[in-house]
Structure 1
Amino acid sequence: MSNLEYDVIVAGGGPSGIAAAVAAARNGAKTLLIERYGFLGGAGTAMMVNPWMTYSAGPKQIIYGVLQELIDGMSELGMYGHPKQKTAFDPEALKYVAEHLCLDAGVELLYHTFLGNAQMDDSKRNIQSIRVANKAGLMDLKAKIYVDTTGDADLSALAGATVEKGREVDSLSQPMTLNFRMANVDIDRMPSREGMTELYIEAKKRGELKCPRENVLWFYANQEGVIHFNQTRVILKDATNPWELTAAEIEAREQVQEFVSFLKKHVDGFENAYLQTTAPQIGVRESRRVIGDYKLTAEELLNACKFDDVVALGSYPVDIHNPAGEGTLLQHLKPGEWYDIPYRSLIPKNIDNLIVGGRPISATHEAHSALRVQPIAIAIGQAAGTAAALCAKEGKLPRKSDVKQIQNSLLEQGAYLGPQFEKKTV
């Protein structure tokens, strides 16, 4: 068993983890990014969630920084955007661009490494080290500051942070979805989403499909003749329970095969199409959320809340897929509006040297449904990594850090925090 020491350890190489690690390294921290797969990207690659949801408020782009660097890198490869789907991206391009962004920033990468435990000090408020499992066996890794970008708040939970799951009434989380792609589609003959949904509903009435979703959701991919489906819906499963997660994967693949058969039999343009790929893992919308120093609510987001300790912006609507069956609730902000995400929501209440990045930050079930998408996760991750590096450098705990210093660093990195920061520094 070895013991390796860093300034900052980022757990989880998804969208938020990429941004956190890059930001930490650029701010001078010796940074390690651990990832269970052999590639980065998380939701955008392992879960194959595509396209990226909005990072604009009306016509105004509100998320820049690492997000923009990833967009620019994939655009240079000709793998970002589609004439009919401007934020579609190629997962292979994201893997490559994210990896080089990290390496160029000086991030040390450790792939095929699974988080297993957190060793705490006597106070139970500070992580002393984390234990991971990989091809070398068990390994202990030590940092001054830790960033949890696992998506499921795995590190936070292992450290004993207070967490909650799902909606308040019954703790059920939003359903999981296995994304898949059909290739060799005659797109010119393909019906609209509405037309395909009519055929889908008829097939469900005939008993050909058992998917508990009310409609069909597809997107254009970057490749010619390829259609991306965000369609399957697995309900009543806990993504943090390994047995239930396994059952969800199995059930989702059954739904995919049923849907492929439906498409080929009943939908114009799919007669000669074939299943090109399913995502390496099922997509998880919601699992644990960490209770932090400030809990965001849906009401605040929908009313375009603003905070003095803003570290990220978002405009994606409240978007709740029914945890128990059919139906999706959508509540939009007023056109052109956005909400602030405060630094306090990244700080767990009862753990001192940990910062949370991405979707598990402190928010209600309803607010989480808006914050969970990849562009917002990237913005939150960049803030978390920036704060972690500054804390490690100055020997401060995240709760005691200088928010204005974090904001200034984010602005220097090309992030956007609102019009009040456009013509001055704080």
Structure 2
Amino acid sequence: MFSNLQDKLDRAFKVLKGQGNITEINVAETMKEIRKALLDADVNYKTAKSFTDEVRTKALGQNVLSSVSPGQLLTKIMNDELTELMGGSVTELEITKSPTIILIAGLNGAGKTTFSGKLANFLRENKGKKPLLVAGDVYRPAAIDQLEVLGKQVDVPVYVDRNSEDPIAIAVAGVAHAKQNGNNVVIIDTAGRLAIDEALMTEITAVKQATQPHEILFVVDSMTGQDAVNTAKAFNDRLDFTGVVLTKLDGDTRGGAALSIKSVVNKPIKFIGTGEKMEALDVFHPDRMASRILGMGDVVSLVERAQQQFDEKQAAELQKKIRKNKFDFNDFKSQIGQIKKMGNMKDLMGMIPGVGKAIKDIEIEDDAFKPIEAIIDSMTPYERENPDVIDPKRRLRIAKGSGTNIDEVNKLMKQFGDMRKVMKQMSNPGMMAKMMRNMPKQPGKPF
């Protein structure tokens, strides 16, 4: 996410590296590089210029403390200004009415239908809502089928009328259906537009007037950069939408849309899509995104994603098994499943401070766990529950059955064994106390 922009901003900050103070000359040179980096990221020119002018003014007005380098100070100012540029604070959905009606709009290919499914899942899982999806795209082949499949995936009902080609009538009937069946949120998926098509723009305006939505979300493909911002302005002029959704942020995103859209249309970014999975949807936090753009990580979001997959009862049972040294391959595979649900692996690692830059040129496939899962699946139920019985003969059979080789099986068995030992030690309070006693003490800082 934003790796090219990160690299260019890093190079810009190097202008100040080793400088003892901030001057007109070195700041001007740095701002020139930062503006160039933003424009290369497809940020709106006016936005890039006003942003760098603001950073320059604040940088020149600061006194550099002896403990802080000019580069560090500029990073802090950049972080604050990027946060402000992208909205300053979180703007969540207004879900106070029952039913709350949410209208989804955007161009073809932006990911509206997929986002509709993700949003329904998010509201059901995290907000305790009972959403209804309404299939209002009557033009795209298989759009209704796609929404029905997504509805089944996230266990959310879908209102469909295959006999009607009137999206306005379908939307109105969908809202009535929600009221009759106790659905407190209605998410209306609409037809995408290939461009600013006048007939279709008139149609979606009519859907808005007929349903009186409480939220209108404009879904935009973040990889389209400045084009996305121009389209957002045209849609906002007609619909006056309440928020923006940036999809495909897990792709090769330049960052222009995320950095420009708030300043151009003055509407907040409310959600970001970070992958294809139904769980890959995050509330947009401007401060966290600013930190990630500057390569500072995003530990808070990482912890939140982990907590979403955390099952307290299951964790307590697992803790008991670890204490008894009964942690087995079934538990191991379950833990892998929870990690996979958290999202794209490279994106997750990029949330750890310092790691994003280190792995920017490394390909990390989402199916990195596939060989491990194949090995575990090739074990018998007895072997998964009793790892210690897996002797060399069984390992050879498991390797053949999983399409891997004996070295990979041996490596997994060793890693699993080492992990069990560490987990057993960490769960023993006496062992923890012993480890703390044996840790070297720093002078003047006793434990």
- Global fold match (TM > 0.5): no
Q: Which has the higher contact order (CA 8 A, sep 6+)?
A: 1
Larger Rg: 2
Higher share of residues assigned helix: 2
TM (normalized to structure 2)? 0.26
Higher share of residues assigned strand: 1
TM (normalized to structure 1)? 0.27
